[in-house]
Amino acid sequence: MILRGITVLTLLLFLFEGVTSLRDVRLLVEPTTVVRGGTAALVCSRDMQGAPLYSVKWYRGNHEFYRYTPMEEPDTRVFGLPGIYVDMNRSNGTQVLLRRLELGLAGNFSCEVTADSPSFATQIATRFIDVIALPTSTPVLVADKDRYQPGELLRANCTSPPARPPTNLTVYVNEEPISALETSLLSSDSGLFTTRVKVEVPVTSRLFPSGRLRVACYASLYQLYNKSAKLDFLTPETDPRPERITLNGGASTCASNQLLLLFLLIIPIMLKQHRQEPVTHDDDSEHNRISLVGG
Ligand SMILES: *[C@@H]1O[C@H](CO)[C@@H](O)[C@H](O)[C@H]1NC(C)=O
Ligand SMILES: *[C@@H]1O[C@H](CO)[C@@H](O)[C@H](O)[C@H]1NC(C)=O
Ligand SMILES: *[C@@H]1O[C@H](CO)[C@@H](O)[C@H](O)[C@H]1NC(C)=O
Ligand SMILES: *[C@@H]1O[C@H](CO)[C@@H](O)[C@H](O)[C@H]1NC(C)=O
Ligand SMILES: *[C@@H]1O[C@H](CO)[C@@H](O)[C@H](O)[C@H]1NC(C)=O
């Protein structure tokens, strides 16, 4: 009775072993988000539990593009699939290196592992690979005026160059993020998107804490792209600023008696020169101080 029980158990264990001779098939992709034109390494790990390997097949969607069969000669085969470039020098039974990935190849990739006889157990693992396009330049920030008085409404647009997926745009007023009045998405040919946000800011004198109001627009795409555009507006009340007439001298702190004497002797000459030259104002007045800074 007990003996028969043990025999059945052994048989069950044997069958169980046979079924699970292959386990933990996993597909690791590095990176999972590829900038177009770039490279991705696909690693297919598995636990064969001592069983011999029959094949590893690689798919994009349902289409097989690469196969490794250690018992065949040659042991690797590539099935031409448009846009898939397998680097044969860097691909084997465990991993495949794909080069020059284009936007259209974003999708599910799989590796399917099959053990040899008697079980021919098969397991498949799938991962999504995203292919993205970064914007080729910085965002463009435009405001409707060059300067604003308190009480006015500042209207501005920020536009990100085409990208896929669309970039995230955030507008800041003096380091504070503000919500967009309107966000629009324009799809262009070749599958890229242009993002534009529109903002409106009621201008108050509080927005010029140090005499300057800064509007900034940050565009980002995951951790792979981060650029900004900035506009500075100067407070109207302090304009024009008549101080800072530059007359050198007077700043000297090392006025020894001798120097003072010398100075007194020179004064008449200086005064004479001074009368001839017109006093120069610091002509860097704030009129054209709007700057566009690409970060
Ligand atoms: C693969 O290696 C061969 C020989 O080392 C070399 O000629 C060939 O250019 C390589 N191919 C790629 C895609 O790197
Ligand atoms: C497969 O190729 C990768 C990269 O070239 C290498 O690191 C790895 O050891 C290779 N594996 C086998 C089983 O040959
Ligand atoms: C990838 O596979 C997931 C899960 O199986 C599925 O939901 C998704 O639609 C697939 N994506 C594509 C592009 O086929
Ligand atoms: C912002 O864009 C809208 C259309 O989307 C346009 O009507 C408006 O003139 C633009 N404003 C500025 C300051 O460029
Ligand atoms: C945009 O921002 C959201 C929220 O922070 C984030 O989940 C998403 O991944 C971002 N998209 C891109 C393309 O960076």
Residue 197 has which token pair?
């946000």
183 lines ligand 5 (CB under 6 A): no
Q: Flag whether pLDDT at 171 surpasses 50.
A: yes
Q: Bridge partners of 107?
A: 129
Where helices occur in the chain by DSSP H, the ranges are 2-19, 257-276
Residue 78 three-state SS: strand
Q: Which atom of ligand 4 is nearest to the CA of 155?
A: 13
Q: How far is the CA of 17 from the centre of ligand 1 (A)?
A: 42
Tens of pLDDT, residues 228-263 = 999 999 976 555 444 443 334 333 333 444 544 454
Name the residue of 198, 215, 231, 292 to mutate for ligand 4: max ligand atoms within 8 A of Cβ.
Answer: 198
User: In terms of Cα–Cα distance, which of 209, 205, 183, 182 is closest to 194?
Assistant: 183
Distance CA 90, CA 76 (A): 12
> Please, which residues have CB within 8 angstroms of residue 35's CB and are 6 or more apart in sequence?
131, 132, 133, 134, 224
- Give me the half-sphere count of Cα atoms (radius 13 Å) on the Cβ side of residue 158: 30
Domains along the chain with CATH numbers:
2-132 (2.60.40.10), 140-234 (2.60.40.10)
Residue carrying the six token digits 């396009």: 133
Q: How confident is the model at residue 49, as a pLDDT?
A: 87
- Dihedral sign for Cα 159, 160, 166, 167, please: negative
| pTM, two decimal places | 0.71
Q: Is the pLDDT of residue 4 over 60?
A: no
Which ligand 4 atom minimizes the distance to the CA of 196? 5
C-alpha–C-alpha distance, residues 257 and 254, integer Å: 9
Tens of pLDDT, residues 78-130: 998 999 999 999 999 999 999 999 999 999 999 999 999 888 899 999 999 99
